[in-house]
Chains A and B, each alone.
Chain A
């Protein structure tokens, strides 16, 4: 009798049953699984974007702009502080350049006084001087990190809201590294709209138009202090069209909106209707009641949407923005306003989008290829190792594949096109373990051992080799998982799972089958 311990027998049965049950939902219709076999549902495999279609976007949060904003407001404070100090501190060329605030003192002896002022404004600023006696202020690493972390977390939240508004199923939005956000949108037909939505910071505010300033003067570069020169953008050409001089002071900010919706106005033109929160309503009421007859501008990301004349005070807390909207652009703007502004602009560093038709083709071709590889290998194994050992290997191969499928589903891993290649490859390599065992049995048998001895020794001797040989593949898969991204990661996953399931199926399952066969039929020759 060949010995196959009871605990091994139970383990083989449990694992094989698991493999069959949890791989099954991937072969049945979705309705059937959802309605009557819902306990199998966790076995359903999630397909990668390359197989089901969708978009992969890697975004960078340009948090430097937040540093610049912060430095700009610091520079205003510092300017005020130096002017109002007594005696007054003379300075020149005060400006913010990127992530630095630079100025020069008229009298370098006043350096220590300036340091005191700076400390009183913000202790964490880093004070530096270059060889031309320029004072350079910048933020500490900790502060920059804090700003960056805030920007990332806030951006993720806003992106999630925007994506949810457009409605894709199961979007994945996660932080990646220090300054990046990964967005995966499965099954999306037209990624352009989402890309457009993500490309807008959507910082909106209502500001009064400076009607006393001369537009000609401003256009030639002499913008009055406290005002900006901003433009309305022509929808069709994307060029700057009408210039406005607008006060920097923000009347009401877009943060104070609670709702925005696209509607039609009385002339049947698409408009966006807004509702403010309580404090926003009050501010908007004050702004409009004090400035009846004047113009105020609706500014979005530094562009003027429109600049209507205030006809009467608007106190109800709701209003309408008209511009040159189409219904689509009005509804896009509403989405942006409802979701809120991004703390900093986003840049798309990398995009990979696959249309649903290509995904479908890929999955069909991949499945077909995997099926053919299974059939070819099965035939080969029977030819080489006969209807006993060959069939045992083939049964364990089938269970092996089902086990990979079941594990992919239960572990909620993603199956990609390279992942399918990994399964096909596992089919080729999985029999390797069986081949090692069978070759060893042949050898042992040739060296004159009894059949039982040959089988027993064959498994025992091959065990070490199989483990050693498979660990190398497992190592390669782990490294690939660590460094790879997207579809390639999927390859690493199936490869690693394949190695593990192969060890099980060859060392336990094959052995169980062969033991069962040998003990039951007591063959006179192994015929291997």
Chain B
């Protein structure tokens, strides 16, 4: 059968650790800087505001729509094409004032558009989030990510040992930081679905890491005398074929989703795709080599 990589690879991953660590450190720093200086493009879930998706039947352009809405005094309005030519996405910034303000602004926009274009536009989607809810959603999102990290830490600690848990968490933070970084650099909308994607990335990255760690634990018992660097390399190589095959099938599945799944799901699929690539990289180049530094206990019978 086809082997993407040969059966007995013996890449020296651990030797590369200084290179991979510095590379990751630089990219992580760059990500953090982009998040701070470029900033994340928060969607209405977290920022509050209004989003309207409309489909037009005659040749209505962005300028015409903008002219209609611009004198409503509703703050900043962004209009963009969305998917097919006749679809537009209208975003309006959060309306100050009471929780009712969004609803009032929506009615104003709709009645203006209806008056100007009548039957020529159809509303495909309408979302608005008031200030109270957006605050709740931010805290829910942050809590979910923190809880997920703690849960992973606890699980790895429970199933393996503390040093493994530390290694896994470094890899996890690495993946989360890089995902946020790419969202900042590309200006992709950061919303509830992105948080869901980050949680999935946390799960997937751990999944990948656990497979390698599991092998490390097994080999620590089997080869008690083997030098740790050599042993880690052996484990990564032994699981390499699986890591690559799983990554490929997942990328195939998510790639199909990204390309054919429609506009709404595309960013979500992209975030997951990115996370899976990053997660695979980190479980090979970060999570395992870092065990060299965290004092993995040898010679003691580790239970499974």
Measured CB to CB, the nearest residue on chain A to B131 is: A349
Question: B1 near A386 (CB under 8 angstroms)?
Answer: yes
Question: B207 near A470 (CB under 8 angstroms)?
Answer: yes
Which single member of A358, A431, A492 contacts B196 (CB below 8 Å)? A492
A348 an interface residue at 8 Å Cβ cutoff? yes
Question: A472 near B210 (CB under 8 angstroms)?
Answer: yes
A432 an interface residue at 8 Å Cβ cutoff? yes
Question: B133 near A475 (CB under 8 angstroms)?
Answer: no
Tell me which of A152-160, A273-281, A364-372 binds B.
Answer: A364-372
A483 an interface residue at 8 Å Cβ cutoff? yes
Tell me which of A263-271, A293-301, A310-318, A421-429 binds B.
Answer: A421-429
Instruction: Say yes or no: A424-B207 contact (C-beta < 8 A), given A381-B249, A476-B200.
Output: no
> Nearest Cβ distance between residue A467 and chain B, in whole angstroms?
10
Q: Contact string, B48-88, partner A, CB cutoff 8 A, digits 1/0? A: 00000101000000000000000000000000000000000
> Nearest Cβ distance between residue B272 and chain A, in whole angstroms?
7
Chain A residues with Cβ below 8 Å from B177 are none
Tell me which of B35-43, B96-104, B293-301 binds A.
Answer: B96-104
Instruction: Say yes or no: A432-B246 contact (C-beta < 8 A), given A366-B265, A368-B260, A421-B269.
Output: yes
Q: Contact string, A150-175, partner B, CB cutoff 8 A, digits 1/0? A: 00000000000000000000000000
Question: A472 near B256 (CB under 8 angstroms)?
Answer: no
Q: For window 345-403 of chain A, which residues contact chain B by CB distance below 8 Å?
A: 347-355, 357-358, 361-362, 365-366, 368-370, 372-374, 376-377, 380-381, 383-386, 390
Question: A421 near B100 (CB under 8 angstroms)?
Answer: no
Q: Contact string, A436-462, partner B, CB cutoff 8 A, digits 1/0? A: 100100110010000000000000010
Distance of A352 Cα from B193 Cα, bound (Å): 14
Chain B residues with Cβ below 8 Å from A476 are 148, 151-152, 199-200, 202-203, 206
A97 an interface residue at 8 Å Cβ cutoff? no
Chain A residues with Cβ below 8 Å from B133 are 58, 349-350
Question: A384 near B124 (CB under 8 angstroms)?
Answer: no
- Which of A381, A428, A465, A487 gathers the greatest number of chain B CB atoms within 10 Å? A428
A485 an interface residue at 8 Å Cβ cutoff? yes
A247 an interface residue at 8 Å Cβ cutoff? no
B253 an interface residue at 8 Å Cβ cutoff? yes
> Nearest Cβ distance between residue B130 and chain A, in whole angstroms?
5
A464 an interface residue at 8 Å Cβ cutoff? yes
Which single member of B2, B155, B252 contacts A472 (CB below 8 Å)? B155
Question: A429 near B204 (CB under 8 angstroms)?
Answer: yes
B29 an interface residue at 8 Å Cβ cutoff? no
Measured CB to CB, the nearest residue on chain B to A58 is: B133
Q: For window 319-368 of chain A, which residues contact chain B by CB distance below 8 Å?
A: 347-355, 357-358, 361-362, 365-366, 368
- Which of B2, B137, B218 gathers the greatest number of chain A CB atoms within 10 Å? B2
Distance of A349 Cα from B130 Cα, bound (Å): 5
Question: A369 near B100 (CB under 8 angstroms)?
Answer: no
Measured CB to CB, the nearest residue on chain A to B276 is: A428
Say whether chain B's binding surface is mostly helix, strand, loop, or mixed.
helix
Chain B residues with Cβ below 8 Å from A470 are 207
Question: B192 near A421 (CB under 8 angstroms)?
Answer: no
Q: For window 218-277 of chain B, which residues contact chain A by CB distance below 8 Å?
A: 218, 238-239, 241-242, 245-246, 248-257, 259-262, 264-265, 268-269, 272
Chain B residues with Cβ below 8 Å from A443 are 238
Distance of A527 Cα from B141 Cα, bound (Å): 48
Chain A residues with Cβ below 8 Å from B195 are 484, 488
Q: For window 118-145 of chain A, which residues contact chain B by CB distance below 8 Å?
A: none
B285 an interface residue at 8 Å Cβ cutoff? no
Question: A482 near B144 (CB under 8 angstroms)?
Answer: yes
Which single member of A372, A435, A527 contacts B260 (CB below 8 Å)? A372
> Nearest Cβ distance between residue B255 and chain A, in whole angstroms?
8
B4 an interface residue at 8 Å Cβ cutoff? yes
> Nearest Cβ distance between residue A316 and chain B, in whole angstroms?
40
Distance of A60 Cα from B124 Cα, bound (Å): 25
Chain A residues with Cβ below 8 Å from B260 are 365, 368-369, 372
Distance of A428 Cα from B208 Cα, bound (Å): 14
Question: A484 near B196 (CB under 8 angstroms)?
Answer: yes
Distance of A484 Cα from B250 Cα, bound (Å): 23
Distance of A118 Cα from B264 Cα, bound (Å): 59
Question: B207 near A373 (CB under 8 angstroms)?
Answer: no
Question: A366 near B124 (CB under 8 angstroms)?
Answer: no
Instruction: Say yes or no: A417-B264 contact (C-beta < 8 A), given A350-B129, A384-B2, A446-B7.
Output: yes
Distance of A358 Cα from B203 Cα, bound (Å): 31
B15 an interface residue at 8 Å Cβ cutoff? no
A219 an interface residue at 8 Å Cβ cutoff? no
Chain A residues with Cβ below 8 Å from B53 are 358
Chain A residues with Cβ below 8 Å from B196 are 418, 480, 484, 488, 491-492
Chain A residues with Cβ below 8 Å from B159 are 468
Instruction: Say yes or no: A479-B199 contact (C-beta < 8 A), given A355-B123, A470-B207.
Output: yes
Question: A473 near B207 (CB under 8 angstroms)?
Answer: yes
Question: B124 near A358 (CB under 8 angstroms)?
Answer: yes
Question: B192 near A488 (CB under 8 angstroms)?
Answer: yes
Distance of A495 Cα from B102 Cα, bound (Å): 34
B143 an interface residue at 8 Å Cβ cutoff? yes
A528 an interface residue at 8 Å Cβ cutoff? yes
Which single member of B98, B128, B144, B255 contacts A484 (CB below 8 Å)? B144
Which single member of B126, B144, B204, B215 contacts A483 (CB below 8 Å)? B144
Question: A384 near B210 (CB under 8 angstroms)?
Answer: no
Measured CB to CB, the nearest residue on chain A to B144 is: A483
Question: B125 near A380 (CB under 8 angstroms)?
Answer: no
Measured CB to CB, the nearest residue on chain A to B204 is: A473
Chain B residues with Cβ below 8 Å from A37 are none
Question: A469 near B252 (CB under 8 angstroms)?
Answer: no
Question: B127 near A352 (CB under 8 angstroms)?
Answer: yes
Question: B242 near A435 (CB under 8 angstroms)?
Answer: yes
Question: A428 near B249 (CB under 8 angstroms)?
Answer: yes
A85 an interface residue at 8 Å Cβ cutoff? no
A477 an interface residue at 8 Å Cβ cutoff? yes
Question: A472 near B264 (CB under 8 angstroms)?
Answer: no
Question: A472 near B127 (CB under 8 angstroms)?
Answer: no
Chain A residues with Cβ below 8 Å from B12 are none
Binding site for B on A (CB under 8 A): 50, 58, 60, 191-192, 195, 199, 347-355, 357-358, 361-362, 365-366, 368-370, 372-374, 376-377, 380-381, 383-386, 390, 417-418, 420-421, 424-425, 427-429, 431-432, 435-436, 439, 442-443, 446, 461, 464-465, 468-477, 479-480, 482-485, 487-488, 491-492, 495, 527-528
Pairs across A and B, CB under 8 Å, 22 listed: A60-B132, A348-B102, A351-B128, A352-B127, A353-B127, A355-B125, A370-B256, A373-B256, A376-B253, A384-B4, A417-B264, A418-B268, A425-B253, A425-B254, A428-B252, A432-B250, A465-B211, A472-B155, A482-B144, A488-B195, A492-B196, A495-B200
Known contacts A417-B264, A446-B7, A471-B155; 19 further A-B pairs (Cβ under 8 A): A348-B99, A349-B130, A350-B129, A369-B259, A376-B255, A377-B249, A380-B252, A386-B1, A428-B246, A429-B246, A435-B245, A435-B246, A439-B241, A442-B7, A465-B210, A475-B152, A480-B200, A485-B137, A491-B196
List the 3 shortest-distance A-B pairs measured between CB atoms, nearest first.
A476-B203, A428-B253, A365-B262
